[in-house]
Structure 1
Amino acid sequence: MDRYEKYEHDVLIIGTGGAGLRAAIEASAAGVSVGVVCRSLLGKAHTVMAEGGVAASLANVDERDGWKVHFTDTMRGGQYLNNWRMAELHARESPDRVRELEAWGALFDRTKDGRILQRNFGGHKYPRLAHVGDRTGLEMIRTLQDHGIHQGLSIYQECTITALIKNEDRVIGAFAYDREKGKFKVFQAKSVVLSTGGMGRIYKITSNSWDCTGSGISLAYHAGAELIDMEFVQFHPTGMVWPPSVRGLLITEGVRGEGGVLRNSENSRFMFNDIPDLYRNQTSDNEDEGWRYTQGDREAKRPPELLTRDHVARCIVREVKEGRGSPHGGVFLDIAWIKDKIPNAAAHIKRKLPSMYHQFKELANIDITREPMEVGPTTHYIMGGIRVDADTQMTSINGLFAAGECAAGLHGANRLGGNSLSDLLVFGKRAGEYAAGFARENEMVQVQEHQVEELAAEALAPFEKGPENPFQIQGDLQVMMQDLVGIIRSESGLSKALEGIGKLWERAKNAGSGGNRSYNPGWHTALELKHMLTVAEAIARAAKERQESRGGHYREDYTGKSEAFGQVNITVRKQENGTMNVEQIPIKPIRDDLMQTIQEMK
């Protein structure tokens, strides 16, 4: 076969978003050799698109907040399908991780007395999101990157992993290619951490960047790891809908957190028409008052625009379907109305939401300090992913760990805004810590030459194939997933999607790329189809299995919640014959003290 470059590290981190960088920092601090692989350039991770803030119960704005309240909010938001141990660890450890980030140089917005400022966000009982304007993810990446580069990390940029390499039941490395020249690389490692992010690019309308194809989830699946909760995809309520070139681009929930309201074409705040019974107590019809939690929230007045994301997204879809949408198929998000409430409102908006002001001014010629934005749901996040141990983040495969969006369990059926960034910090740290521990306790296992030859042949196969265009297959998949496995699903639609995915698998076998291995996006896309189709099939099969509506999963043929399905998670695993096995597994009973905490918070 062609020559390849070989690298050896105790711990290999795949992905350089918040979870990957935090894992790399922790593993390096443990004194082991760490290699970090990113398919783009360092600092370009999708984490920068997380704008609103990082959720942590610092209680700087409201002293009633605490880890127990955060834990309960997370469990309720996830419809109690969450891994409760992960939710506990996340709620307990998030404040320390945020203070740690601050100590490393993160420049958070401040209260008048100098503490980290926190804002309201959907599903959170109290103001809980520490933020840096609307650029929190960017500040997190900047801080972790600046801290991490001094830890002795070996970083491999513009490098894509195509497969994990195993020895019996243990991962021992990974096979990759250089995106610029197409040269092959083999990484040998004692342990591997996957932190590759999400899969939004399998849908037509998405807030995700080009590299969010679900590759890490697919890599783990094909290596034999178990996936969980794949049916739960979050459609963020507010993406741009105009102009078409930026359709789906994220509009941070921070706009609503700072007072933005949703209106339909009749100028009505339609969210007041659909407040779940859970929140109905003490609700006021006065738009200025908003609604209150039933848990006796004495002072905090909460607009219905800050209900959970799945609920808001479905309400927007309803308005559009019933003919009350905006001219371009969305609804209106208005932050300009606060000019009647706040002195110098325009300056306030620009200070609090600088990225949003710039984004709409430059891309849509709209001044959000003067006029409303047109918004609509966009594929944003997957709650499902690789099943991991709550404490260690190890997958069902020895030596393979996962953290961040590609891992699953914390969020259950629906993720609360802001929990993603604290998820990256809490479980990125844990993954790095335990991956380093595994590396210290186990010997290096050599990658065999025949393994490299097989993977190289598979990677080069598109140059021998044809005539299918990989870009066309990708486009057809995106349209089909948007139409049939999107916000609203049905038995017939999911069956049709699975049939279509099967046909796309056949077409992908003949997906070819011309030219050579240098600067060849057609080749890259042909290799990526395996990951995209794998994740798409897992989502569709899990969605078909769950015959109810819950969180981010809505079935128009099963509109209510099922008590039976409320007791199980759905797992997906690759069988020996290569087919996908879907199984329901019982949720472990929640620990008594945590159940008591939930009851107390109610």
Structure 2
Amino acid sequence: MMTRLPLWEEAKTPTGPQGDVQSVEYETVQIPVLVVGAGAAGARVAIELAEAGVEPLVIGKRDHGDAHTTWAAGGINAALGSLDSEDGWTIHAADTLDEGHFINDPMAVELTTSEMPDRIRELDEWGMGFDRTENGRINQRYFGAQSFRRTCFVGDRTGEAMLDALVSKAQSLSIPYRENVMITRLLSDGTGVHGAVGYDMETGEFLLFETDHVVLAAGGYSALYNRHSSRDDENNGDGPVLALEAGASLMDIEFVQFHPTGMVEARYGDDWAGRLVTEAVRGEGGRLLNANGERFMERYSPDQMELDARDVVARAIAREIREGRGTENGGVYLDISHREDQYVKDRLPRMHERFAELGVDITEEPMEVAPTAHYSMGGVDIDFETGETGVEGLYAVGETVAGVHGANRLGGNSLAETVAIGKLVGEHVAEQIDGDPSVPTTVKTLAEREFRSLKRLAAADGTERPQQLLDDLGDVLWKHAGILRDEASLRAGLREVQALRERTADLRVEGDRAGRDFEFAVDLAFSITLAEALLESALRREESRGAHYRTDYPEIDPDWQRNVLVDAGDTGLELRTRGVPEPSEEIQEAIEEGHELDYHHLE
């Protein structure tokens, strides 16, 4: 198995008594199932396990209920037909495959879209509080590239309302939860997982979790970029890389979605750099204007306008800015002021409040926006009926995995995937539980080796600061693996990432293991490995498809209707490709019917 290159083993340590890293103390926890990640996906898995009579332990890196799910604002997809009765789950599947440029896993798409009507009704029963139509049905709005109005919502705080409902349900089932814990490594021999190790982020205490079943629901990797819509300390690739190092394969890592409308830091301040302006603004009729006041999407997508696919709109905005039609702050305008004031306040309360605090009344004036790294379509390669990764006892779900979204995610499908697949994975894992964990005697040896490595990392006294290295990595990815890519730039990016890896040999970590410096140092190992996988995969895919746009290969190549997979070899990452199965007959029929959004329904 690939080891973490020099970051931990080679970090400089001081001499003398304080450099003694051999003695290790830690807490041991034995459990039937460990769920790593406390967002919607992890919560839904845990609920299903508990209802099947299995008591999992859910762990999260933040306080209970404070997961990245809460940042998903605009809505969650399900073909309910509340407003458009002709919609159905097969059309939802066809839209998803079309948006993913047909390299999605068709089974993953079918399971997600067919499950979602029941999952929405379930969330409604659990108290999610969806917005309703005048006749009391769950309301639905347009999202980009959807043929019909199928995005259910709670104003513009849908993710927060959803996680509140899931946490409340989990608490009613007395599901154990442990907050502020980071997993640093899975204990695996490459064929099976027997536990996980990490530390308490508040106390610095080391933790060993002994278990035969680990479910990774730890998010994606879009926050590796220096302009992104995530919190800086989340979505940094730890979930996928934990799986990779345990023997699982990664897939579609080159596909990172750049959301068209992130906040412009030059206008609103560095604290707001890339923060998401929800797609609900465009779904409710928001218009994109360049600095000349032109509604420029008329040039790029006259039929779907602002609600074309996210990759199309993001590239259009990038082109307007590049060709000198952007604002002086490096963005374009998003304007909802033509809608009635109360309508905006009712449908977009959070956006209205956020911009009001920044001195902008969005009922009267536009917002300044530009593309931002938002979502990672790639992740762990799994069997979607079971969540299995190919490593015995290891499962994955949510943004940690690849398959549902293909080359570009349909807006509103991220929340959908978490609960649709989360339920199925929970069902399967519950069926695998058979008595107490059977933990090999080598597990404690492996755990103690990791703990000693972490102690060396905490004692590193070189000159390179973890935060600066992460910032530099974000700059490298934005420059070399952003919206527009080519071979020369990608190769340059790989060289720069390798130079960053070499700099980690001279790391300096200040404070103790409960400090942010140590947390960032741990993040570095995951982030650098993931960045290498992203750049290598982007180099391998010699075409443009969805969110992956190569200026030196600007067209879709039918021969590249394949997935790129990444494995951990003995000397580094190893890449291969695999063909994509055909969708089922009923989904193929929906594809051939050619359903498509007509934006002008909104006019």
TM-score interval (norm. to shorter): over 0.9
Distance in 2, matches of 1:405 and 1:370, equals 36
Q: Which residue of structure 2 lines up, in the alignment, with residue 160 of structure 1?
A: 182
Go from structure 1 to structure 2 and tell me whether the alpha carbon gap of 1:351 and 1:597 turns closer, same or farther (over 3 Å shift). Answer: closer
Say whether the 8 Å CA contact 1:197–1:404 is kept in structure 2.
yes
**What pairs with 1:423-442 in structure 2 (closer than 5 Å)?**
423-440=417-434
Q: Which residue of structure 2 lines up, in the alignment, with residue 308 of structure 1?
A: 309
Distance in 2, matches of 1:335 and 1:592, equals 41
Q: Which residue of structure 2 lines up, in the alignment, with residue 393 of structure 1?
A: 387
Residue by residue over 1:529-557, the C-alpha shift from the partner in whole angstroms, topping out at 9 and shown as x without a partner, is 01101111111000000011110100111
Distance in 2, matches of 1:488 and 1:61, equals 38
Residue by residue over 1:222-273, the C-alpha shift from the partner in whole angstroms, topping out at 9 and shown as x without a partner, is 1111000001000000011022321101000000001100011111111110
Residue by residue over 1:96-146, the C-alpha shift from the partner in whole angstroms, topping out at 9 and shown as x without a partner, is 001000011110000111110000000110000110000000000000001
**What pairs with 1:492-507 in structure 2 (closer than 5 Å)?**
492-507=488-503
> Which residue, out of 97, 108, 113, partners 2:119?
97
Query: One-letter code of the match for 1:40?
Result: R
> Which residue, out of 578, 588, 596, partners 2:589?
596
Query: One-letter code of the match for 1:419?
Result: N
Distance in 2, matches of 1:157 and 1:463, equals 21
Offset of residue 168 of structure 1: 5.7
Q: Which residue of structure 2 lines up, in the alignment, with residue 106 of structure 1?
A: 128
Distance in 2, matches of 1:157 and 1:359, equals 28
**What pairs with 1:170-319 in structure 2 (closer than 5 Å)?**
170-209=192-231, 210-241=233-264, 242-245=267-270, 246-275=272-301, 291=303, 303-319=304-320
Greater mean deviation of Cα atoms: 461-470 or 120-129:
461-470
Go from structure 1 to structure 2 and tell me whether the alpha carbon gap of 1:264 and 1:168 turns closer, same or farther (over 3 Å shift). Answer: closer
Offset of residue 387 of structure 1: 0.5
Q: Which residue of structure 2 lines up, in the alignment, with residue 336 of structure 1?
A: 337
> Which residue, out of 444, 447, 455, partners 1:449?
444
**What pairs with 1:20-39 in structure 2 (closer than 5 Å)?**
20-39=42-61
Say whether the 8 Å CA contact 1:512–1:523 is kept in structure 2.
no
Distance in 2, matches of 1:326 and 1:167, equals 54
Query: One-letter code of the match for 1:560?
Result: E
Q: Which residue of structure 2 lines up, in the alignment, with residue 531 of structure 1?
A: 526
Distance in 2, matches of 1:161 and 1:376, equals 34
> Which residue, out of 66, 70, 73, partners 2:95?
73
Residue by residue over 1:553-596, the C-alpha shift from the partner in whole angstroms, topping out at 9 and shown as x without a partner, is 00111111111112x1100010123x000111122233344323
Distance in 2, matches of 1:236 and 1:442, equals 45
**What pairs with 1:329-408 in structure 2 (closer than 5 Å)?**
329-338=330-339, 345-362=340-357, 364-408=358-402
Greater mean deviation of Cα atoms: 589-598 or 196-205:
589-598
Distance in 2, matches of 1:492 and 1:167, equals 37
Say whether the 8 Å CA contact 1:386–1:395 is kept in structure 2.
yes
Query: One-letter code of the match for 1:384?
Result: G
Say whether the 8 Å CA contact 1:387–1:395 is kept in structure 2.
yes
Q: Which residue of structure 1 lines up, in the alignment, with residue 482 of structure 2?
A: 486
Offset of residue 405 of structure 1: 0.6
TM-score (norm 2): 0.92
Offset of residue 475 of structure 1: 1.1
Q: Which residue of structure 1 lines up, in the alignment, with residue 13 of structure 2?
A: none
Q: Which residue of structure 2 lines up, in the alignment, with residue 288 of structure 1?
A: none
Offset of residue 167 of structure 1: 4.7
Distance in 2, matches of 1:433 and 1:391, equals 10
Distance in 1, matches of 2:392 and 2:559, equals 32
Distance in 2, matches of 1:489 and 1:158, equals 37
Distance in 2, matches of 1:594 and 1:334, equals 36
Q: Does 1:587 align with 2:580?
A: yes
Query: One-letter code of the match for 2:268?
Result: P
TM-score (norm 1): 0.92
Q: Which residue of structure 1 lines up, in the alignment, with residue 598 of structure 2?
A: none
Secondary structure in 2 matching 1:102: helix
Distance in 2, matches of 1:601 and 1:136, equals 29
Distance in 2, matches of 1:546 and 1:441, equals 45
Residue by residue over 1:1-23, the C-alpha shift from the partner in whole angstroms, topping out at 9 and shown as x without a partner, is 32211111111100011101001
Uncovered stretches (5+) of structure 2, i.e. residues with no partner: 1-22, 596-603
Q: Which residue of structure 2 lines up, in the alignment, with residue 279 of structure 1?
A: none
Distance in 2, matches of 1:83 and 1:114, equals 35
Distance in 1, matches of 2:126 and 2:510, equals 47
Greater mean deviation of Cα atoms: 162-171 or 364-373:
162-171
Q: Which residue of structure 2 lines up, in the alignment, with residue 324 of structure 1?
A: 325
Secondary structure in 2 matching 1:64: coil
Secondary structure in 2 matching 1:149: helix
Q: Does 1:120 align with 2:115?
A: no
Greater mean deviation of Cα atoms: 255-264 or 447-456:
447-456
Say whether the 8 Å CA contact 1:394–1:400 is kept in structure 2.
yes
Q: Does 1:570 align with 2:593?
A: no
Distance in 1, matches of 2:338 and 2:380, equals 43
Residue by residue over 1:312-350, the C-alpha shift from the partner in whole angstroms, topping out at 9 and shown as x without a partner, is 000000000011001210100000022xxxxxx111101
Say whether the 8 Å CA contact 1:192–1:435 is kept in structure 2.
no
Residue by residue over 1:169-211, the C-alpha shift from the partner in whole angstroms, topping out at 9 and shown as x without a partner, is 1111110101111000111112111111121221100001122
Secondary structure in 2 matching 1:204: coil
Distance in 2, matches of 1:408 and 1:421, equals 14
Residue by residue over 1:388-429, the C-alpha shift from the partner in whole angstroms, topping out at 9 and shown as x without a partner, is 102111112111111111111000000010000110110111
Uncovered stretches (5+) of structure 1, i.e. residues with no partner: 276-282, 284-290, 292-302, 339-344
Say whether the 8 Å CA contact 2:31–2:437 is kept in structure 1.
no
Secondary structure in 2 matching 1:153: coil
Say whether the 8 Å CA contact 1:191–1:436 is kept in structure 2.
no
Residue by residue over 1:51-91, the C-alpha shift from the partner in whole angstroms, topping out at 9 and shown as x without a partner, is 11000000011101101110100010000000001111111
Secondary structure in 1 matching 2:463: coil
Distance in 1, matches of 2:208 and 2:296, equals 55
Say whether the 8 Å CA contact 2:112–2:416 is kept in structure 1.
yes
Q: Which residue of structure 2 lines up, in the alignment, with residue 147 of structure 1?
A: 169
Distance in 1, matches of 2:413 and 2:151, equals 9
Residue by residue over 1:447-475, the C-alpha shift from the partner in whole angstroms, topping out at 9 and shown as x without a partner, is 63211210101211223432221111111
Aligned residue pairs total 567
Query: One-letter code of the match for 1:472?
Result: Q
Say whether the 8 Å CA contact 2:32–2:436 is kept in structure 1.
no
Say whether the 8 Å CA contact 1:193–1:432 is kept in structure 2.
no
Distance in 1, matches of 2:347 and 2:494, equals 44
Q: Which residue of structure 1 lines up, in the alignment, with residue 465 of structure 2?
A: 469
> Which residue, out of 140, 145, 153, partners 1:131?
153
Distance in 1, matches of 2:89 and 2:580, equals 23
Offset of residue 516 of structure 1: 2.5
Query: One-letter code of the match for 1:321?
Result: R
Query: One-letter code of the match for 2:453?
Result: E
Distance in 1, matches of 2:154 and 2:522, equals 37
Distance in 1, matches of 2:244 and 2:505, equals 19
